[in-house]
């Protein structure tokens, strides 16, 4: 290596030369040029990352050795002995490359910038005195991401859910666009998810921001309307003239632990109940305690009224805090005290109370003599049946403290029978008229069950139609019940159960036998009563013609129906001469009746011959 090259390299060091130093570096082909004033040898780049965003950076900075002012450039030129064009190649210039302004993300520029608009919407009220409910809301517009939130300031005792109505989100304006700040102004309507909000005004910051930064012209603000119904419910605050302030400390020092005791009586619906009233002189408060006696049948509640000021008139809850209160000067033996609308009669007091009134008012409190009336005779009255369970089960809760199942009569269980009737439904629907039912009446419980035998091609499944239960008469309720009994069921009768009308057509042999054996309970099976109705209806001759002479063959039932059943089956017994069951009763006793009529005719003929 030649000493000339070493000397040249020694002169090319990255240090600033002093003014007037001799720097002789020929700019010839093959020689490498080095900027002697360059101190940053890092590779420059155009783009960088800041907070996750790509931002351009300035390559020529002061740290890279580029002169910042004209003075620095001239000092650099004078300190070099080589021509500037030869050393820098004619590239010296103060013109800096154009730079873009610094990039600021929207979440940084509009951070915590929220525009607030006051608006309202009308909520329709159904089945109410008010037609609509006017609800005031606050619309918050976030410039950071054009999101919108709707909140309703909570009001006391409003009875509706308030707070955030629509959480922060971008709200669609139509199928393609979203709401922007250009859609908001005073006096305009905006619709969010089918609910229309009317914007009245905005706050001062929002108005200034839209006018200065967004160059928007705002309409005149509108006043917020007032709900007439809610304003009518607002009660004026009661104002009372200021009373002279009492010296509580002086009162405490004079009357601490001084309590007036009165013995009172309250007439609670004919029962005289004894109470003790304590009046505290230190704060003019009253306390009422009940005097309990052994086996009085009441809960041992110690206080009827806790220690508080006692109002003279009690109509509303506000009377407990506002109004006139009892003072110790208003209490006397024989007087009446209104304890929350209960009339207490003061009958006596203790010795301290009597001495206190004597010293302060010069009044003698004389005890009142009262005699309690004899207790009235209490008659047990049961509440009406509520419809839950059976009536016997509900009655047990009134007769016993510990519930017990109703007792069942063994003899009635032994004598129980089931009376079965064949019935059809009397309905206006044609398909129901062909349905047949078996109505079972359980004696002596007087409970009814209905079964529908399955029929082919009938359109119904059949089976159990009514569970075994008691059935109410039409027009009666569970509170005032009247139930069907076994005597209400007979062939040819009509019964209505649970809005379904049934016509009884026939019964089995056991029903006829049982009813005839108990004809005192079932009048339609009493042959003597039926004959009396036949005679009264003028059908006696027709009956004798149908019966015929003794020894004839039995007459079919249809012949009796044609002769005796003048009324249509199902007609009430009050208007028809006979019902079908009574005709069947005559039909079943035709042999006995034929012999009886023949014997009576023979006896009458004998008397005529004699």
Q: pLDDT (tens digit, 9 = 90+) per residue, 342-387?
A: 999 999 999 999 999 999 988 899 888 877 666 677 777 888 777 7
Residues 539 and 508 in one domain: no
> Are 347 and 368 a contacting pair, CB within 8 Å?
yes
Tell if the pTM clears 0.75, that is, is over it: no
For residue 98, being part of any structural domain is answered with no
Residue 142 lies inside a defined structural domain of this protein: yes
pLDDT of residue 519: 87
- What gap in Å lies between CA 275 and CA 278, rounded to an integer? 10
Query: For residues 506 and 527, what is the distance between their CA atoms, to the nearest angstrom?
Result: 18
Range scoring the smallest mean pLDDT among 234-243, 257-266, 401-410, 547-556: 234-243
Q: Which of 94-103, 151-160, 228-237, 431-440 has the lowest mean pLDDT?
A: 94-103
First to last CA, the chain: 191
Percent of the chain at pLDDT exceeding 90: 27
**Whole-number percent of the chain with pLDDT over 70:** 80
The more confident residue out of 44 and 314 is 314
Q: Are residues 415 and 508 in the same domain?
A: yes
The whole-chain average pLDDT of the chain stands at 80
Q: Are residues 268 and 344 in the same domain?
A: yes
Contacts for 357 with CB less than 8 Å, ≥ 6 apart: 363, 364, 365
Across residues 569-592, what is the average pLDDT? 72
Q: What is the pLDDT of residues 251-285, one digit of tens each?
A: 888 889 999 999 999 988 878 889 999 999 999 99
Same domain, 199 and 152: yes
Helical packing angle, 590-609 and 540-547, nearest 10°: 100
What pLDDT does 60 receive? 44
Contact predicate 264/279, CB 8 Å: no
- Residue 433's CB is within 10 A of a number of other CB atoms, namely 12
Pick the last residue of a domain from 361, 388, 422. 361
Cβ pair 197, 165 in contact under 8 A? no
Q: Are residues 205 and 123 in the same domain?
A: yes
Is residue 190 a part of any domain in this protein? yes
Q: Which of 219-223, 479-483, 528-532 bottoms out in mean pLDDT, i.e. has the lowest? A: 479-483
Distance CA 60, CA 75 (A): 19
In a domain, 43, yes or no: no
DSSP codes, 470-522: --BPTT--SSS--B--GGG--TT-EEEETTEEEEEEEE-HHHHHHHHHTTTT-
pLDDT at 310 over 80: yes
Beta bridge partners of 164: 151
**Which of 495, 518, 541 is at the close of a domain?**
518
Are residue 503 and residue 554 in the same domain, yes or no?
no
**What is the distance between the alpha carbons of residues 446 and 322, in angstroms, rounded to a whole number?**
63
Regarding whether 125 and 217 lie in a shared domain, the answer is: yes
195 and 139 share a domain? yes
Please enumerate in sequence order all residues whose Cβ is within 8 A of that of 200, keeping only pairs 6 or more positions apart, or say none: 118, 119, 120, 186, 187, 221, 222, 223, 224
Same domain (yes/no): 124, 199: yes
pLDDT at 14 over 60: no
**Cα–Cα distance measured from residue 335 to residue 262, given in angstroms and rounded to the nearest whole number:** 11
And the tokens for 288? 């009422």
| Domain assignment of residue 175, yes or no | yes
Residue 375 domain-assigned (yes or no) = no
pLDDT at 129 > cutoff 50:
yes
H helical segments located in 345-445: 351-360, 391-399, 410-414
Do the domain assignments include residue 23? Answer: no
Q: In terms of domains, do 263 and 347 share one?
A: yes
Q: Which pLDDT belongs to residue 5?
A: 43
pLDDT band at 1 (very low <50, low <70, confident <90, very high): very low
What is the distance between the alpha carbons of residues 546 and 180, in angstroms, rounded to a whole number?
102
* Structure tokens, 16: 């600033």
d(CA 522, CA 529): 11
- The dihedral sign for the CA sequence 182, 186, 191, 197: positive
- Domains identified in the chain, total number: 4
pLDDT reading at 428 higher than 80: yes
Minimal CA–CA distance to 567: which of 539, 593, 588?
A: 539
Q: Are residues 279 and 343 in the same domain?
A: yes
What's the mean pLDDT in 58-72?
A: 56
Tell me: do 496 and 576 sit in the same domain: no
Structure tokens at 253: 């020092």
Query: Which CATH number characterizes residue 188's domain?
Result: 2.30.29.170
Query: Which residues form the domain of 591?
Result: 526-609
* 570 lies in some domain: yes
Q: Give tens-digit pLDDT for 196-247.
A: 999 999 999 999 999 998 889 999 999 999 888 777 777 776 666 655 667 8
Domain boundary (229, 263, 280) is at 229
Most confident of 155-169, 183-197, 297-311: 183-197
Winning range, highest mean pLDDT, from 1-5, 418-422, 477-481: 418-422
């Amino acid at each position: 290596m030649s000493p000339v090259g070493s000397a040249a390299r020694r002169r090319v060091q990255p240090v600033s030369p002093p003014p007037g130093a001799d720097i002789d570096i020929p700019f010839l082909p093959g020689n490498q040029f080095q900027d002697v004033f360059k101190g940053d040898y890092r590779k420059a780049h155009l783009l960088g990352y800041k907070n996750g965003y790509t931002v351009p950076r300035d390559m020529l900075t002061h740290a890279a050795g580029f002169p910042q002012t004209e003075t620095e450039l001239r000092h650099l030129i004078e300190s070099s002995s080589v021509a500037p064009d030869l050393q820098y190649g004619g590239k010296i210039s103060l013109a800096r490359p154009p730079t873009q302004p610094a990039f600021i993300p929207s979440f940084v520029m509009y951070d915590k910038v929220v525009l607030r608009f006051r608006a309202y919407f009308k909520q329709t009220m159904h089945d109410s005195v008010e037609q609509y409910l006017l609800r005031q809301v606050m619309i918050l517009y976030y410039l950071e991401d054009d999101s919108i939130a709707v909140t309703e300031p909570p009001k006391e005792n409003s009875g509706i859910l308030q707070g955030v109505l629509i959480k922060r989100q971008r709200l669609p304006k139509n199928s393609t666009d979203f709401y922007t700040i250009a859609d908001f102004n005073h006096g305009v309507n905006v619709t969010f998810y089918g609910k229309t909000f009317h914007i009245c005004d905005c706050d001062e910051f929002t108005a200034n921001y839209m006018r200065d930064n967004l160059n928007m012209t705002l309409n005149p603000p509108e006043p917020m309307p007032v709900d007439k119904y809610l304003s009518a419910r607002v009660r004026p605050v009661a104002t009372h003239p200021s009373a002279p302030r009492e010296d509580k400390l002086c009162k405490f020092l004079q009357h601490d632990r001084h309590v007036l005791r009165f013995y009172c009586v309250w007439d609670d619906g004919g029962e005289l109940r004894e109470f003790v009233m304590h009046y505290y002189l230190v704060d003019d408060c009253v306390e009422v305690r009940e005097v309990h006696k052994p086996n009085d049948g009441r809960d041992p509640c110690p206080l009827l009224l806790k220690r508080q000021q006692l109002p003279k008139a009690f109509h509303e809850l506000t009377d407990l805090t506002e109004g006139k209160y009892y003072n110790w000067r208003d209490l006397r033996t024989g007087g009446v005290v209104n304890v929350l609308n209960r009339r207490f009669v003061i009958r006596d007091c203790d010795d301290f109370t009597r001495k206190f009134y004597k010293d302060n008012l010069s009044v003698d409190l004389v005890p009142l003599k009262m005699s309690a009336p004899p207790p009235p005779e209490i008659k047990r009255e049961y509440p009406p049946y509520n419809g839950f369970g059976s009536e016997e089960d509900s009655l047990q809760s009134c007769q016993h403290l510990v519930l017990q199942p109703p007792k069942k009569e063994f003899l009635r269980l032994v004598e129980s029978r089931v009376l079965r009737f064949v019935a059809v439904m009397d309905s206006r629907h044609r398909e129901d008229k062909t349905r047949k039912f078996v109505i079972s009446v359980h004696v002596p419980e007087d409970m009814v069950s209905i079964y529908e035998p399955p029929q082919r091609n009938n359109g119904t499944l059949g089976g159990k139609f009514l569970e075994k239960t008691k059935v109410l008469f039409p027009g009666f309720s569970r509170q005032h019940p009247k139930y069907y009994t076994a005597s209400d069921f007979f062939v040819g009768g009509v019964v209505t159960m649970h809005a379904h009308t049934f016509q009884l057509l026939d019964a089995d042999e056991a029903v006829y036998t049982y009813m005839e054996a108990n004809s005192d309970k079932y009048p339609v099976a009493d042959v003597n009563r039926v004959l009396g109705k036949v005679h009264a209806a003028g059908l006696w001759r027709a009956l004798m013609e149908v019966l015929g002479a003794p020894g004839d063959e039995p007459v079919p039932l249809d012949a009796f129906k044609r002769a005796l059943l003048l009324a249509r089956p199902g007609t009430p017994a009050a208007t028809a001469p006979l019902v079908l069951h009574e005709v069947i009763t005559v039909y079943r006793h035709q042999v006995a009746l034929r012999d009886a009529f023949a014997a009576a005719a023979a006896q009458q003929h004998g008397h005529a011959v004699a």
